[in-house]
Amino acid sequence: MRWGCCGDLERFEAIEAAGYDFIESPVRVLCVDEPPASAEPYRSAILGSRLNAEAFNVFLPGTLPIIGPDVDSSALSTHIQTIVDRVSDLDAEIIVLGSGGARGIPEGWQPDEGRRQFLAFCDLAADIVGPAGIMIVIEPLVKRACNYIHTITEGRDLADAIGRPEVSTLADLYHMEMNGDPIDALGGHAPHLMHVHVPVPRVPGLVEHDLDFNHATFLAQLKHAGYKGRISVEDNGKNFADFDQEAGPVLTHLKELWETV
C-alpha cells in the first residue's frame, strides 16, 4: 500500500515532510503549453527528493474538449505527448482522467456520439502513454461538476469497452458519497481499480470540518477485497485548515484506520 497526497509545488515540501510516499499533482505543474524549461522547478523538486510523482490529475483543461463538435485530435495528441515527455524520468504511472470541463457532453449532443468520442480519446491516449508505462484511470465525478460518468460501474463499463491495459478506473470516496454510489458495493469493484482517492478525514482534536465521510467502510471494502494499490488524499471540500500542520496527522490517522478495519 502506498499513500499519497494531492498537491502542487506549493505543497510539495509539506507532503514530503509529512511522510507520504508520493505526490499526485495536477498536470498544469508540467506547463504543457510552455517551453520545457518552465516545468523544471517542479521536475527538479521531484528529482531531488525521496518523494515520487507517481500520479497526476486534471489531465485536460476545459479548452481541450474530448466530446462535442470542437474536438481537436492533433492538439490532444500534442498535449498527451508533452506530458509523457516531461514525466519520463519522474516514475509516473497514473494519470487521472477526471477533467469534467473537457469530457462533459454539450447540450444537444447525442450521448451515443459522446460515448464514441470518449472511447476514441482513451484509445488515442493509450497509444501515447502505453510505451511509457503509464495508465489512464477514469474518474467518476460529482454530478454538479460534470454530466458524464458518475459511478464506478459507468467507469468500469467504459474501461471494459476500450479493452486496453492502459485504461482502467478509480474509486473516489468524495464523489461516491456525493453521488450516492453505494460504498458497500465497493468490494466487488476493487479487483478492477488501479487508483483511489479519499477526502480529508476528520481527526478528532486535530482536523475538524463539517463534511463527514465514511472512510472506515470505504477502506474496509478495499482492504478485504485485496486492494494493494495507491491511495491519495484529495482535498475536495477544502477541509485542510492548516495544510502544513494537518497533512501528517491525516496520514497517520488513515494508516491506523487501514490497520484496524
- pLDDT-derived band of residue 210, with 50, 70 and 90 as boundaries? confident
- pLDDT-derived band of residue 204, with 50, 70 and 90 as boundaries? confident
Q: What is the pLDDT of residue 248?
A: 97
- pLDDT-derived band of residue 211, with 50, 70 and 90 as boundaries? confident
Q: What is the pLDDT of residue 126?
A: 99
Q: What is the pLDDT of residue 206?
A: 83
Which positions ≥6 away from 193 have C-beta within 8 Å?
A: 152, 168, 169, 170, 171, 222, 227, 229
Residue 90 reports pLDDT greater than 90? yes
Q: What is the pLDDT of residue 235?
A: 95
Summarised one tens digit per residue, pLDDT across range 50-66 is 999 999 999 999 999 99
Q: What is the pLDDT of residue 33?
A: 97
Residue 198 reports pLDDT greater than 90? yes
Strand partners, 203: 207
| Under 8 Å between Cβ of 176 and 139 | no
Q: Which domains does the chain have, with CATH numbers?
A: 2-260 (3.20.20.150)
Residue 181 reports pLDDT greater than 90? yes
Q: What is the pLDDT of residue 205?
A: 86
| Under 8 Å between Cβ of 31 and 258 | no
Q: How far, in Å, CA of 50 to CA of 20, rounded?
A: 10
Q: Mean pLDDT of all residues in the chain?
A: 97
Q: What is the pLDDT of residue 238?
A: 87
Residue 230 reports pLDDT greater than 90? yes
Query: If you average pLDDT over residues 208-231, what whole number do you get?
Result: 94
Q: What is the pLDDT of residue 237?
A: 83
- pLDDT-derived band of residue 78, with 50, 70 and 90 as boundaries? very high
Q: What is the pLDDT of residue 133?
A: 98
Q: Residue 143 half-sphere exposure, CB side, CA atoms within 13 Å? A: 6
